[in-house]
Structure 1
Amino acid sequence: MLVEKFRQILFWPLQLMPLPDRGDVHWRQLDGDPNWILLDDDFPSDPEQYQERHYREFVSFLPHVQRFLYGERSKSVRSYGESPLLVYRRTDIKAVRMRAPGEAEFRCFKVEHADVFFFYDADVMIPVIEISAENIALDVAMDTINRFGRAYPAAWSESGEPANCFETVEWLDAAEAPLAAADYTDRLKFYASVTRSQTTDIAAHWDFMLRPMMLNRIGATCAVRYRPLEYHRMPMMTYLAVEDPASLTRAEFTRLALAAVPAAARDRLPLSSIYLADFERAHCYDRFFDPRRTDDPEWPNMRIMCTPQAFVMIGRSGDPGFIDGERGFLGQFRHQFFMLGMIAHFHRAAILMMSNRLVEVISRLDSRDNRSVSRFRHDIRDISATFLRFTHRYYFCEVSDQAILRDVFRIWTGQLRTDALFKELREEVNDMEAFMETDLLRRQAVTILQLTVVTLFSLVGTITTGFLGMNLFSHSDLPTTDRLAIFFLVFIPTTLLTLYTVKKSRRLAHFLDTLASDKASLRTKWNAFLAVWDSRRDVSVD
């Protein structure tokens, strides 16, 4: 079977490491780089230059999603402001050339765009790359879907071939000259990264695409560093236009949805029939797919499939409404559905990023070190504030009132388990805040205990000095120097006694508690009194 139009879009969620300067932003390093440009022409000043596909994309989303994606340029003081989403595009990568193990010829695909999406106030970036081709075999499309988008090999064969990866991947410029090539076969490179720093290196062509940013590893000198958040397989979107989608077998639909390798037998399932028994119910959105209506020229017969790994749209190549890039489903695939995927994967990436930061903060906590506890409280406040801003500015469950977009977004986020991850993160943040509150209450209780003990023991001195102040001693006629000497003679011992009482306040509190107990014997009370000065005695003072 021939795929007349093929598109593949890869998402690669990455966590950005904190910058040395907390007031700086990550994307500033790309400003001035000749290979990167900031995309800010979606809303040109001249309406004649505005394209309908962008307008259709804008009006497809609810107002709060529009403000997130595009900002609000109103001059009102209460306006949302500029969009928190910034997009930088790589300008030198124009094509990609690949060759699978055992193949003699290269496969060439056009690179429609290679972008990086940044999100303000969120240490997350998502590189996105879209490739396209026309008139390729279905098996070639399946194999490309399976192999392209591997950040690094998961394993190697005995002969040294990287498992499920292309043997060669090359970025090409406008003159078809190679810019960078993959090094999947360099097994020692990936071994060395794991053994030296317990981090997995990435293939050279992906490293090249993100330069001047660098992977976070030993020896990385770049200010902007990143690290992967998920598995080495990048999530993807796939668009296929074939002559008759209904002619695909159930096994072929399954392999496309799961991004699995093609099989020699068209009806061979990639997984057991028991496991795939509810495949259609769980992963297929068949609002416009009905194999019994293949003879209806006005029926699109388009199927959408969604799994944790891939979003797939497949329809008829002879249907103008499906292949139209301006008003048809191809245009929606590249705009509305692409934005759905961007939002869904950003939500998941941001949640995973904050979860990773929580783990890092907790791993640095030493409850016996006051400085560590203080730093822990500061870090938790930062994470709580970040989580609060993310929840109210970025996280939303409804993105559109259009039925197909609303339904697909629910399916997509359900496949990614975003809601479950969000609830888990919220519970973790609440646990950390509860710990901080409990620790604060404990410290306040200790302070109140110390003040109570000091006040109680100061009562004796207060009463005594009260009697002494009843003109028993008259110092008013003494010289000023004598009165100052008497003042300091009383002030210094009183201060030292108060500080000493604070130091012993916990043991004094234990003694007072024992003294007030009717059940404690005289010997027990005496031992509690001696324990105030004898630290070797086993007394619970906390």
Structure 2
Amino acid sequence: MAPTSDILVRHFRQILIWPLQLMPMSHLPGELKAMGRQWEILQCAASEGSPWQPRATEFDASPEQFEERHYREFITFLPYVQRFLYGEQVSMAGDIASYGRSPLHVFRRSDIQQVLMVFKDGATHHFKVAHIDLYFFYDVDVVILAFEIMGNDLPLRRVQDALFRFGRAYPAQWDGPREAANCLRKVAWLDADGEVLAESDYEERQAYLSHMGQYRAPRMAEHWAYLLNPLVPHHSGLEGEVRYRQIEYHRMPLMAYIAVDDPFALRDEDFYALGTVGKPSEDQILPLTPKLLADFEADCCFDRFWAPEQRHRSASTRMMCSGHAFIMVGQHGNEFYSNPYTGVLGQFRHQHFLLVLIAHFHKSALLLFSDRMAAALSALNLKDPLSIRHFKREIRLLLESFLRFNQRYWFREVSHQIVSSQLFGMMNRHLDTVRQHEEVRESVQSMNQYLENDDLRRQADTVVRLTVVTIFGLLGTTITGFLGMNLFDLAAESGWMKLLYFAAVSLPTAGLIFYTVARSKSLSEFLDAMSDERVSNKQAFVALRNVWRKKKAQPPV
């Protein structure tokens, strides 16, 4: 079996899928703050020269330009997923039940044409940029960056190194004062002429440490911050209407397509390093036990098209799926694997990409809901009525947003095609989205139930107070009714005298009513004691005396 260093990757593609949390726009009213509408700001910026421009999809083109690969992509998904991804045209009859346009809003920048990578050993490689897109989701404050690069005729160890080091938002640590661990030595964005547009600053150790000390949040590397502009990091002094922050781990989820002349030449250790996106071993030997390899194959390998014992090109494609990565390895000369339209390469860039995008969007949205609930609870002050009102409004907005997310975006199944269905199931299992969804749903419902119970308690308390006032007001009503309101003959008095009598009666009566309301809770306890046959006269008298006894103030609830 050939050493890993001798294996050439004839064609390599890597797609970074980086979910980010968008911060609510402060200039909008309270209800609209919870809605993902940041794409509208980017749309306005596009007309002012922003590098991010709205991307028209193939499905927006004229019907004559529709190709078979678009058709194959469309029918891969179930109808409700099709409506989410592509929208739905209104029928000639003006069907009011039409789904309408897709809730996806995609922006693309085309000024970055190449990526320059300088590796730890000093080697330099240029990768061509296939596309850089931003995916916004209506009504959800999540944006996903999709960054696809490609290269040809690269050593397998160099491909492993690129997978391991490229997609890092910031360094996790440093091996020296200016040597970031596990990151590339340098990353640069190049334009069509080869000019540098932005480059990484992983070596600026003190800048990252100072930023963490000031904001209690990591600092985004310079080249990634440049790429996302006009979006700006939330924890920074930069000005911008659309602000974002990290929602997952600093290593970006990724997809990779690897085409080699002989996939059967790869060792089990090579597949393990690729599937787990691990650090390439210096001596090309990984300390892997048979049990570890067996668990990896059982949990992460999709071997429907992989049978190395047959040594046939129809069984030379292996797919590996984990929560962090989706990797496929196959034979370069095999039409089934390498065809960019009808082969696995075309499916990788379209159907499989959308599967991974949906799975990571689900996870990011659920993390967003959990974060919003935690933020609402941390801001709650039971001694502050205004804080309580804000908490109730935020929880109700979260409940509404979560219900809309369930109906518009949450899918347990996306396809009935065997490969797509099983791959999506593997992604969900590794990302644990089903369990997270249940936890978020139960938490939102529990908080909403608490608010409903609190409203019912307040209503019941109000009814009790009004009942007490009615009971004590019944005494005056009975007396005045019995006397027939003829106790005084005021018909002959002047208007001013009548008004004076009216005020003399109304003001004490109103004061008595307000005083009764103020003491209604204690009076209700007295009435309960009077109506309970098990309570002695002495205990009832104590309850009456407690009406005027000052109680220790309790915090409002």
Question: Shorter-normalised TM-score: what interval?
Answer: over 0.9
- Where does the alignment leave 5 or more consecutive residues of structure 1 unmatched? none
**Stretch deviating more after TM superposition (435-444 or 164-173):** 435-444
Q: 2:515 aligns with which of 500, 523, 527?
A: 500
Within a 5 Å distance, the mapping from 1:41-440 to structure 2 comes to 41-74=57-90, 75-103=94-122, 105-158=123-176, 160-269=178-287, 273-294=290-311, 296-297=312-313, 299-440=314-455
Name the aligned partner's letter for residue 97 of structure 1. Answer: L
Residue deviations 1:313-346, cap 9 Å, x none?
1111110121111111000000000000111111
SS of aligned partner of 2:179: coil
Within a 5 Å distance, the mapping from 1:21-36 to structure 2 comes to 21-22=27-28, 25-30=37-42, 31-32=46-47, 33-36=49-52
SS of aligned partner of 1:107: strand
SS of aligned partner of 2:522: helix
SS of aligned partner of 2:175: coil
SS of aligned partner of 1:112: strand
Q: 1:365 to 1:292 in 2, by over 3 A?
A: same
Within a 5 Å distance, the mapping from 1:419-498 to structure 2 comes to 419-469=434-484, 471-498=486-513
Count of aligned positions: 538
**Stretch deviating more after TM superposition (43-52 or 169-178):** 43-52
Name the aligned partner's letter for residue 50 of structure 1. Answer: F
Name the aligned partner's letter for residue 4 of structure 1. Answer: R
Residue deviations 1:250-286, cap 9 Å, x none?
11111101000122454524x5554443211111111
Q: 1:411 to 1:121 in 2, by over 3 A?
A: same
Name the aligned partner's letter for residue 68 of structure 2. Answer: E
Task: State the 1:365 CA deviation.
Answer: 1.2
Task: State the 1:199 CA deviation.
Answer: 0.7
Contact in 1 for aligned 2:15/2:146 (Cα 8 Å)? yes
CA distance in structure 1 between the partners assigned to 2:528 and 2:98 by the alignment = 61
Identity level (%): 42
Q: 1:223 to 1:328 in 2, by over 3 A?
A: same
Q: 1:536 to 1:411 in 2, by over 3 A?
A: closer
Q: 1:117 to 1:465 in 2, by over 3 A?
A: same
- Superposed CA RMSD in Å reads 2.1
CA distance in structure 2 between the partners assigned to 1:143 and 1:537 by the alignment = 68
Under a length normalisation based on structure 1, what TM-score does the superposition of the two structures give? Answer: 0.95
CA distance in structure 1 between the partners assigned to 2:553 and 2:215 by the alignment = 46
SS of aligned partner of 1:19: coil
Task: State the 1:526 CA deviation.
Answer: 3.2
Contact in 1 for aligned 2:305/2:315 (Cα 8 Å)? yes
SS of aligned partner of 1:222: coil
- Where does the alignment leave 5 or more consecutive residues of structure 2 unmatched? 1-6
Name the aligned partner's letter for residue 63 of structure 1. Answer: P
SS of aligned partner of 2:524: helix
CA distance in structure 2 between the partners assigned to 1:226 and 1:464 by the alignment = 70
Q: 1:457 to 1:258 in 2, by over 3 A?
A: same
Task: State the 1:530 CA deviation.
Answer: 2.4
Name the aligned partner's letter for residue 74 of structure 2. Answer: F
CA distance in structure 1 between the partners assigned to 2:480 and 2:205 by the alignment = 84
Task: State the 1:484 CA deviation.
Answer: 3.3
Task: State the 1:492 CA deviation.
Answer: 1.7
Residue deviations 1:220-267, cap 9 Å, x none?
321100001100000000110112222211111111010001224545
**Stretch deviating more after TM superposition (196-205 or 157-166):** 157-166
**Stretch deviating more after TM superposition (213-222 or 132-141):** 213-222
Name the aligned partner's letter for residue 496 of structure 1. Answer: G
Q: 1:324 to 1:432 in 2, by over 3 A?
A: same
Task: Give the corresponding residue for 1:16.
Answer: 22
SS of aligned partner of 2:144: strand
CA distance in structure 2 between the partners assigned to 1:109 and 1:538 by the alignment = 69
Task: State the 1:483 CA deviation.
Answer: 3.3
Name the aligned partner's letter for residue 10 of structure 1. Answer: L
SS of aligned partner of 1:14: strand
CA distance in structure 1 between the partners assigned to 2:96 and 2:527 by the alignment = 61
CA distance in structure 1 between the partners assigned to 2:527 and 2:550 by the alignment = 17
CA distance in structure 1 between the partners assigned to 2:61 and 2:278 by the alignment = 45
Q: 1:434 to 1:272 in 2, by over 3 A?
A: farther
SS of aligned partner of 2:133: strand
Q: 1:277 to 1:366 in 2, by over 3 A?
A: same
CA distance in structure 2 between the partners assigned to 1:25 and 1:412 by the alignment = 28
**Stretch deviating more after TM superposition (423-432 or 373-382):** 373-382
SS of aligned partner of 2:169: coil
SS of aligned partner of 1:367: coil
Task: Give the corresponding residue for 1:513.
Answer: 528
Q: 1:264 to 1:536 in 2, by over 3 A?
A: closer
Contact in 2 for aligned 1:151/1:233 (Cα 8 Å)? yes
Residue deviations 1:432-461, cap 9 Å, x none?
101101211111121011111111111211
Under a length normalisation based on structure 2, what TM-score does the superposition of the two structures give? Answer: 0.92
**Stretch deviating more after TM superposition (52-61 or 445-454):** 52-61
Task: State the 1:159 CA deviation.
Answer: 5.0
Task: State the 1:125 CA deviation.
Answer: 0.2
CA distance in structure 2 between the partners assigned to 1:466 and 1:397 by the alignment = 69
SS of aligned partner of 1:507: helix
Task: State the 1:81 CA deviation.
Answer: 0.8
